[in-house]
Amino acid sequence: MIEPASATIMRLRHAAGVNPHTCPTCGHARSAPRRRVRDGDIVEGCVDASHTGWVRGPDLAWHDRAPARAIRAREAARLEVTDP
């Protein structure tokens, strides 16, 4: 079975000793990613793998969009290539 991109990223970060409680991209808690909201809709925000499994509702919908998944897949591939 292929490991999901978010799991790959988090596994490699854990091995590197990255703080597991905050996002290294936006600096927010895993359950509260940075978001910019306009007229009640999310228009910009962090889609880092550290938020996977922690967000709910509109944040989850934003986090699970196809472009967000593609960003995480590219990051996972980049990290695996540079993993010693």
Over residues 71-80, mean pLDDT = 90
| Residue-level pLDDT at 80 | 79
Q: Each residue of 31-65: pLDDT tens digit?
A: 999 999 999 999 999 999 999 999 999 999 999 99
- 24, 48 Cβ separation under 8 angstroms: yes
Average of per-residue pLDDT values in the chain: 90
* Residue 16 confidence (pLDDT) above 90: no
Sequence-distant (≥ 6) Cβ neighbours of residue 36 within 8 angstroms: 42, 43, 44, 45
pTM value is: 0.81
* Residue 78 confidence (pLDDT) above 70: yes
